[in-house]
Amino acid sequence: MGEHESHRKIRGFINERGYSYNVMDVLRGYQKRLDGYYNSYTMNDCLDHLESECEEVIRVGNNLLIGKE
């Protein structure tokens, strides 16, 4: 299975902005946001622009874990 489009968009945004994050960092930041925890200004920049992509990557990952996709 190839890299999911949303995963590529997250990675591309990180590179475009020059951030040192990786995709997993952004996904962890997204989970922290959902749980009500603090994220840095730059992480919030990522999350503000990539919320739907984060949701999609997590959904696809969960479906793979339970065998739906």
Q: What pLDDT shows up at residue 1?
A: 41
User: HSE on the CB side for 30, CA within 13 Å?
Assistant: 22
Given a cut of 70, whether residue 69 has pLDDT beyond it is no
Alpha helices in 1-69 (DSSP H): 5-17, 23-35, 41-66
Domain range summary for the chain, segments of one domain joined by +: 5-66
- Residue 13 is predicted with a pLDDT of 98
Residues 6+ apart with CB under 8 A from 46: 10, 13, 14, 17, 19, 21, 26, 29
pLDDT tens figures, 1-57: 456 899 999 999 999 999 999 999 999 999 999 999 999 999 999 999 999 999 999
pLDDT band at residue 68 using 50, 70 and 90 as cut-offs: low
Q: What's the confidence (pLDDT) of residue 43?
A: 99
